[in-house]
């Protein structure tokens, strides 16, 4: 009886878009109150009722959000000494090379095109890196963050190329097809319109971004130093985490307390 209702629940879950992982309460209800669970299911297919549906949606999935979300054949690749925060989301074709770091809340969505983070690059908190299918420039629309680039917090990068050793200020927006050449700095809060190019060793700011001044040699030397400093900082965050999470210990404890067979 319990098995039948469980089978019905799982069949419904795999065909609908609702999350398949059962919450503990539902597991409990499936095993103990089987008739109630059996009568809960699919609502009448009328359009009016459909809008109010949601009773069977999983509200709490103890697994949380996966950090690396594969799509089809693409699996995000993270180098062994790169740090990806547990709250970050990498989906699709994303490659994070050595020494790079992706901080909390960042979303790197390589579902339509590639996203690459080079050596010692860092994507700070709450950034969104996405790639469109096609860029207005006609060049490949992948998002490439080359080596020693620091992308500040809350940036939005879409199908842009950032050449080695740059700094992108916080909360800036780089639109499709934009190119930031080597050794340049983009100030915080700037917006790069689609297809805009920032030449080497220049400082640009504003929305839309405009040329401010050329960078001095000392400032250019500082850029990879910042990236390395963030790398050092990243090491201390990295060492806080074990290679594999031991959240499963709490799950086992909870299951034991709910008397659900392990």
Partner 1 sequence: MGTLGRAIFTVGKWIRGTGQAMDRLGSTIQGGLRVEEQVSRHRTIMNIFEKEPRIHRDVFVAPSAAVIGDVEIGHGSSIWYGSILRGDVNSIHIGSGTNIQDNSLVHVAKTNFSGKVLPTIIGSNVTVGHSAVLHACTIEDEAFVGMGATLLDGVVIEKHSMVGAGSLVKQNTRIPSGEVWVGNPAKFLRKLTEEEIVFIAQSATNYINLAQVHAAENAKSFDEIELEKMLRKKYAHKDEEYDSMLGVVREIPPELILPDNILPHNARKAVAR
CB 148 within 8 A of CB 225: no
Residue 3 is a binding residue for partner 1 (CB under 8 A): no
**Does residue 262 bind partner 1 (CB under 8 A)?**
no
Reduced to 3 states (helix: H, G, I; strand: E, B; else coil), residue 153 is: coil
What distance in Å separates the CA atoms of residue 92 and residue 32, rounded to the nearest whole number?
40
> Tokens at residue 9, please?
């629940």
Contacts (CB under 8 A) with partner 1, residues 183-212: 191, 207
> Taking a C-beta distance cutoff of 8 angstroms, is the pair 5, 38 a contact?
yes
Task: Provide the minimum distance between the beta carbon of 224 and partner 1 in the complex, in angstroms, as a whole number.
Answer: 28
Q: Is the peptide bond before 253 cis (omega within 30 degrees of 0)?
A: no
> Interface residues for partner 1 in 136-165 (CB under 8 A)?
154, 156, 158
Total number of residues binding partner 1 (CB under 8 A)?
60
How many other C-beta atoms lie within 10 A of the C-beta of residue 55? 8
CA dist., res. 32 & res. 143, Å (int): 51
As measured in angstroms, the least distance from the Cβ of 216 to partner 1 is 28
Q: Is 259 in the site for partner 1 (CB under 8 A)?
A: no
Rounded Cα–Cα distance for residues 256 and 239 (Å)? 31
Looking at the Cβ atoms of 28 and 220, the one nearer to partner 1 is 28
Interface of this chain with partner 1, residues 99 to 118, rule: CB under 8 A: 105, 107, 109, 111-112
Quote the least distance from Cβ 25 to partner 1, whole Å. Answer: 13
Residue 171 found at the interface with partner 1 (CB under 8 A): yes
The single residue among 99, 126, 159, 164 that binds partner 1, judged by CB under 8 A, is 126
Q: Which of 39, 48, 52, 217 binds partner 1 (CB under 8 A)?
A: 52
Q: Rounded to the nearest 5 degrees, what angle is found at the Cα of 37, between the Cα atoms of 32 and 39?
A: 140
Nearer to partner 1, 35 or 261 (CB): 261
Which residue's CB is nearer to partner 1, number 14 or number 39?
14
Which helix (H) or strand (E) element contains residue 173? strand 173-174
In our burial notation (b when 16+ CB lie closer than 10 A, e otherwise), range 157-194 reads bbbbbbbbbbbbbbbbbbbbbbbbbbbbbbbebbbbeb
Binding to partner 1 by residue 213, rule CB under 8 A? no
Closest separation in Å from C-beta 90 to partner 1: 10
Residues in the site for partner 1, rule: CB under 8 A? 13-14, 16-21, 50-54, 56-66, 69-73, 75, 87, 89, 91, 105, 107, 109, 111-112, 126, 128, 130, 133-134, 154, 156, 158, 171, 173, 175, 191, 207, 240, 242, 245-247, 249-251, 254
């Amino acid at each position: 009886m319990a098995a039948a209702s469980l089978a019905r629940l799982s069949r419904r879950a795999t065909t609908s878009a609702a999350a398949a992982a059962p919450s503990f309460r539902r597991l409990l209800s499936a095993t103990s109150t089987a008739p109630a669970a059996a009568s809960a299911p699919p609502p009448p297919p009328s359009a009016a009722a459909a809008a109010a549906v949601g009773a069977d949606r999983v509200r709490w999935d103890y697994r949380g959000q996966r950090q690396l979300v594969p799509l089809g054949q693409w699996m995000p690749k993270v180098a062994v000494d790169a740090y990806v925060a547990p709250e970050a989301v990498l989906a699709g074709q994303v490659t994070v090379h050595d020494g790079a770091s992706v901080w909390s809340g960042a979303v790197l969505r390589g579902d339509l095109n590639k996203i690459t983070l080079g050596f010692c690059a860092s994507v700070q908190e709450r950034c969104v890196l996405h790639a469109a299918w096609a860029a207005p420039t006609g060049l490949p629309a992948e998002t490439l963050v080359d080596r020693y680039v620091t992308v500040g917090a809350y940036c939005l990068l879409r199908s842009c190329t950032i050449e080695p050793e740059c700094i992108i200020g916080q909360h800036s927006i780089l639109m499709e097809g934009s190119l930031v050449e080597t050794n340049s700095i983009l100030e915080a809060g700037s917006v790069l319109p689609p297809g805009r190019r920032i030449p080497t060793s220049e400082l640009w700011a504003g929305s839309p971004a405009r040329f401010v001044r050329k960078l001095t040699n000392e400032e250019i030397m500082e850029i990879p130093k910042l990236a390395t400093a963030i790398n050092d900082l990243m090491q201390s965050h990295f060492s806080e985490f074990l290679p594999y999470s031991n959240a499963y210990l709490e799950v086992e404890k909870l299951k034991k307390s709910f008397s659900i067979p392990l």
